Amino acid sequence: MTSRYFYLLPKIHKPREKWPHRSMPAGRPIVSDCGSESARICAFIDYFPQPLSTLHEAYIQDKYHFIRKIKNQPIEPHWLLISADVESQYTNMQIDRILQTIREAFVEDPDIQRPDEGILSLLETTLRCNDFEHNNQFYLQVCGIAMGRKYSPAAGNI
């Protein structure tokens, strides 16, 4: 087993004038879960919310999915079609809200074969006990969800 470790994934696609330093692009914070004691638990958790994460009406996979959704839909001339990107979504997600929305998704799409309370308990444990290593120091993430967790995209979509 290995420790979860923190690193920055450089955002080299950003214009150089927006970099925090001339020779260093902004970074996307990642806490790697590969090979950690919780990696397989997170994969197990992900199995259940993953299919629910794309069911809501507001889900848009990418620009091509958006175009397919609005194709042949009446669009009034005074409407503005706007796209947006959520900045720092994962690190700003509140743990209690994550648990609440996934619980609500389970209620909206019941499955007697799914162990809802067990999954939610494991989810809460992995969210509240997300420790990681950086420069030989250990830290505990107290807000947000780690981008390196297998279930993070599904939780973010829900």
pLDDT tens-place values along the chain, 158 residues long: 677 878 888 877 777 777 777 777 777 788 888 888 889 999 999 999 999 999 988 888 888 998 898 899 898 999 988 777 777 788 889 999 999 999 999 999 999 999 999 999 999 999 999 888 888 999 998 888 888 889 999 999 99
In a domain, 74, yes or no: no
In a domain, 35, yes or no: yes
In a domain, 96, yes or no: yes
pLDDT computed for residue 14 by the predictor: 76
User: Which amino acid, one-letter code, is at 80?
Assistant: L
Q: How many domains does the chain have?
A: 1
In a domain, 153, yes or no: yes
Domain extent for 125: 5-56+87-157
In a domain, 67, yes or no: no
Q: Report the DSSP pairing between strands 131-134 and 137-140.
A: antiparallel
Question: Measured between alpha carbons, how far is 55 from 78 in angstroms, rounded to an integer?
Answer: 29
* 60 Ramachandran zone, left/alpha/beta (phi>0; psi -120 to 50): beta
pLDDT computed for residue 1 by the predictor: 65
pLDDT computed for residue 158 by the predictor: 93
pLDDT computed for residue 22 by the predictor: 74
In a domain, 102, yes or no: yes
In a domain, 62, yes or no: no
**Which segments of the chain does DSSP mark as H helices, in order?**
39-47, 63-70, 89-92, 95-108, 116-128, 152-157
Contact residues for 10 (Cβ-Cβ < 8 A; gap 6+):
24, 25, 26, 27, 28
Contact residues for 153 (Cβ-Cβ < 8 A; gap 6+):
53
pLDDT computed for residue 111 by the predictor: 96
Q: Is the CB of residue 4 less than 8 Å from the CB of residue 32?
A: yes
Smallest CA-to-CA distance from 114 within 56, 68, 49, 64 is with 49
Question: Measured between alpha carbons, how far is 9 from 27 in angstroms, rounded to an integer?
Answer: 5
Whole-angstrom CA distances from 131 to 3, 136, 137, 147 are 8, 13, 10, 13
In a domain, 151, yes or no: yes
Question: Measured between alpha carbons, how far is 19 from 14 in angstroms, rounded to an integer?
Answer: 7
